[in-house]
Structure 1
Amino acid sequence: MGQMKVESVCLPVGSTVLRPATSHLMDLSNRVSCTDIDECKEHEPCSQTCVNTNGTYSCTCHPGYLLEPDAHTCKVTGSEPTLLVAIQSELLLYGLRSLKEDVLTTTDKNLIIFSIDYDLVEQKVFWMDLNAESIKWITMNTKKKGTLVKGIRSDCIAVDWIGRNLYWTDGTAGELLATWLNATWRGNPEYTVVLDGDLDQPHSLALQPLQGLMYWSEIGDKPQIEQAGMDGSNRKILIDEGLGWPTGIALDLLSWKIFWSDDKLHCIGSANLDGTGIKVFQLSQIKSPFSVAVFEDDAYWSEMKTRTVQKVDKRTGKNRTVLIKRHGQPYGLKTLTDSLLE
């Protein structure tokens, strides 16, 4: 835990003093006392958890992460974190420490790997193949391949690694569906319709199995981001303002936020998981974002027009970096770590 120490100094009534980044902001409300301002809310100084106290604050990290010497940044421990990227007909593994690239698998050039997700229990990667109208999988270690279900169309898939189900959206039919994660293809699609009432083109989907919650974006006449139980219960709208075409969503459970990419408004947005605290990064380099992912202090997105994968600081929108540039079109993104919260 990193501790920030500061001495309180009182100035005349109504004065405000902003000390350097390592010190604390005090509201001097009268001549004899200082009112503490919560820097955790004012400036979001910590990677993960910020603990505010009178005249100071400290940063802490979740299990599986270590606090860096700067006392603000949390870095994951264990094996190297990896960004899984769908680039047209390839699944690419990009090491976020080594910056090395490896091809996990290549499909037929006429097939498009669209949406992807990862089962950390069995270490399988699942993907939606649009042209083949099927959801397929490959194991990370043995490279064994298989087909989960055929005869379906989906804009996005998501793995429930606790309940052992795989969910997907069908924007054309206006449905959220699920099937057993270890189902064996027997010639007929077997699935359950989780939600099909009053859905306006559900597109991107993200699950929070630890809490039994699912989040999805809708891109129809009323673009919005919604939340419900993974059985379809307790449905509610989280965000219904300031959205154009939210093509991708991702959860950052370490900071308890949801991120989205917006193709119409050319931006990356974020909010608290209760829908409050909306923040939008509208950079000139964000032209046509498709998918978004979050890891440590960065937000990643696949850029359609420039055919790149880029990142920015998830709290400030600064330090933009191009990680991958290809002739093929990048689509889905997913971060792979040992942590259950990624």
Structure 2
Amino acid sequence: NFPDCTNGHDEGPKCATACRSGSGRQVCQHKCRATPAGAVCSCFDGYRLDADQKSCSDIDECQEQQPCAQLCENTLGGYQCQCHADFMLRQDRVSCKSLQSGATLLFSSFNEVRNLSEQPVMLNVAWSANDSRITGFDVDMHRQMGYFSAEDEGIVYQVDLQTKLIMRALGLPTPTKVSVDWVTGNVYVLSGAQEIQACSFEGRMCGRIVHVKSPKHVKHLAVDGYHGRIFYIVIRTEGYGQTSSEIHMARLDGSRRDMLLQRGESFMTALTTDPHQQLLYFVDQHTRTLERISYRFKMGPLRRPEIMLQKSNALMHPSGLSVYENNAF
């Protein structure tokens, strides 16, 4: 081991010339530390040392680290976060805040969908399903329409959010979870335990896009209309009551299926998407963890999920999940 050169002259001739070539040019592109063995190069923040151990290349933080809540622009030696329309960048320069006046949380309670507003804080009934138990619902804010399923009746309803009147109804065998593609207005429904149906209320028709065979069954679904993708959880019952889980991704017509994640001894539930970041959030009830996984790249090897929350009482028996700004509900 050679000690570092302290004054550039007292530890051998290389100390004085280590950082410059014979022509007087700098050996290192960025930073150089002279040692008796020669130059040791390093890079400024936001760069990494190349294989030649002399030059430096910019790190694309947007692709490798995904540091921003919504949009990310890579710059030389760094990155800059931006937000979509109707959002503003927070003071942390990473997360985004909605410019809309107040958020609203919708949730179902037996035969009602309730509305919890933020400003002012107020709880009221958004709409009611009379005596039928609501097993799934979603809203299309663009068209101001709500959709809910009544498993006991075998019906999926369309509701006008302004008048709270039922506009249309479609019959399906044991409909449960519902997810709306706000781009096309199509509604995706988990029908029974082994099928996903794509429904058009305008056309008054549904068609099967996903079917799994026993001992597998579909547990939950979520739609990213912006990127044209549907996600669904498949549970497989193993011996002695154990279960394994899979998360699948497909186009909205059910084609081009790709498995995002496969896990033994698990029971995944409560699925939702963050289209801005192309992140899928889910809960594994077996490990009591809230996790997320990227679907930014369409094909390739199985992705590695990131644990966001674990061993929380809020994750005991989740039936639904939603993401807004930097919060999960």
TM-score, normalized by length of structure 2?
A: 0.73
Shift in CA distance, 124/255, structure 1 to aligned 2, threshold 3 Å: same
Q: Letter of the aligned partner of 2:285 in structure 1?
A: D
Task: Give the alignment's Cα RMSD to 1 decimal.
Answer: 3.1
Pairing of 1:74-85 with structure 2 (within 5 A): 74-85=96-107
**Residue type at the aligned position of 2:311:** L
Are 2:184 and 1:163 equivalent residues in the alignment? yes
Partner of 2:311: 283
Would the aligned equivalents of 2:41 and 2:54 in 1 still touch at CA under 8 Å?
Answer: no
Pairing 1:227-242 to 2, within 5 Å after superposition: 227-241=249-263
Partner SS for 2:175:
coil
Amino acid at match of 1:215: F
- Residues 180-191 of structure 1: pairs in structure 2 closer than 5 A: 180-182=200-202, 191=206
How far off its partner does 1:86 sit?
1.1
Residues 159 and 166 in structure 2, CA contact (< 8 A), matched pair in contact too? yes
Over residues 3-26 of structure 1, what are the superposed CA-to-partner deviations in whole Å (9 max), with x where a residue is unaligned?
A: xxxxx8777959899xxxxxx566
Paired residue type of 1:54: L
Query: Which stretches in structure 2 are left out of the alignment for 5+ residues?
Result: 1-29, 35-39, 238-243
Corresponding pairs, count: 280
Summarize the Cα distance change of 1:79–1:148 in structure 2 as closer, same or farther, 3 Å threshold: farther
- Listed as ranges, the matches of 1:1-342 within 5 Å are 37-40=59-62, 44-96=66-118, 98-108=120-130, 110-150=131-171, 152-172=173-193, 174-182=194-202, 191-196=206-211, 198=213, 200-221=216-237, 222-241=244-263, 244-273=266-295, 274=297, 276-280=303-307, 281-285=309-313, 286-300=315-329
Percent of pairs identical after alignment?
A: 24
Higher relative contact order (CA 8 A, sep 6+): 1
**Deviation string, structure 1 residues 252-281 (Cα, Å, up to 9, x no partner):** 011111111222221211111145341123
When Rg is computed on C-alpha atoms for both structures, the one with the higher figure is 2
- Counterparts in 2 of 1:230 and 1:56: CA distance versus 1, 3 Å: closer
How far apart are the structure 2 equivalents of 1:255 and 1:220? 29
Rounded Cα–Cα distance in structure 1 between residues aligned with 2:33 and 2:65 = 23
Relative to 1, partners in 2 of residues 1:243 and 1:116: Cα closer, same or farther, differing over 3 Å? farther
TM-score (norm 1): 0.70
What secondary structure does 2:286 align onto?
A: coil
The code of the aligned residue for 1:113 comes to I
Structure 1 pair 224/251, CA: closer, same or farther in 2 (3 Å)?
same
The verdict on how the C-alpha distance between 1:39 and 1:131 changes in structure 2, with shifts beyond 3 A counting, is same
The amino acid across from 2:318 in the alignment is: P
8 A contact 1:178–1:193 mirrored in 2: yes
